[in-house]
Amino acid sequence: METVEKFILTEDDFLFIERQLLDMGFRENTKFDSARLFERLNLIPPRKITGREVSYFYKSHAQGNNYTVIIHVTYLKASKKWRDKGTDAAWCLIAEGDQAKYFAKPFLRTKGFILKLLRYAWVTKWKVDHRPLCRECHNFMDINRKIDPRQYYWICRNNERHEAGTPVFESWDSGLPLKATKFVSIRRAYTARYHKKLKKEGKTVTPARKIRKQWEIKNPENLA
């Protein structure tokens, strides 16, 4: 969790973020896209929500790779303003269909917000574009998460096609360029220090994605 004071972002800041995401190959989730999702799943928000927050997605062009990167930037495009305090965390995640497979830690609107969000957008896009193939069966590997401590890694469970008959694992940062590895390592080190501090104070660390109130899905049978 970041403790520096929040600062004011402008419409120009949003336009810069949007331009960078589009240049990376992301596309905006349109009102039509959102309406179809809401109708298909019959989504009910956890609280009253004013305005529609713009988000962007990126899909790999590789056949058989159905992972999608989704970026929520906390900006209300129609109103040309940022969300109010308390609902202002940006998110970067990887989904497979309607199921989230990976969440980066949320991005608060603090100093360095724009650079951190764009860097993670690039890193996460890179991971999807370079989704590793199993070294034994050559199928795409899947994202898996160790609960405690929080840790992501790649796994292939095609045990019948593996010599030892067991899952094959790869590091979450497998093949990641050195510059990108250094960036994510800095954020992870900051998080580790923060968690250590909380532990000394006798406080429990609760993942942000668990604190975040979930939307209710009235039509779970339509989940993709």
**What percentage of residues in the chain have a pLDDT greater than 70?**
79
Summarize the confidence of residues 110-135 as an average pLDDT: 94
Asked whether residue 1 carries a pLDDT value surpassing 90, the answer given is no
Looking at per-residue confidence, does 212 or 99 come out higher?
A: 99
Looking at per-residue confidence, does 195 or 85 come out higher?
A: 85
User: From CA 75, how far away is CA 78, in angstroms rounded?
Assistant: 9
pLDDT single digits (tens) 137-174: 999 999 999 876 678 999 999 999 999 999 999 999 99
Structure tokens belonging to residue 4: 């520096």
- As a whole number, the mean pLDDT across the chain is 84
User: From CA 67, how far away is CA 127, in angstroms rounded?
Assistant: 10
Which pLDDT score, from 0 to 100, does residue 8 have? 83
User: From CA 60, how far away is CA 130, in angstroms rounded?
Assistant: 9
Compute φ and ψ for 91, nearest 5 degrees: -130, 145
**Checking phi first, is residue 64 left (phi over 0); if not, alpha (psi -120 to 50) or beta?**
left
Summarize the confidence of residues 57-68 as an average pLDDT: 93
Looking at per-residue confidence, does 218 or 21 come out higher?
A: 21
User: From CA 20, how far away is CA 53, in angstroms rounded?
Assistant: 18
Task: Report residue 203 CA to chain centroid gap.
Answer: 26
DSSP secondary structure, 3-23, as one string: -SPB----HHHHHHHHHHHHH
pLDDT single digits (tens) 26-49: 999 988 787 777 677 656 666 666
Total-model pTM: 0.82
If you average pLDDT over each of 38-47, 77-86, 192-201, which comes out highest? 77-86
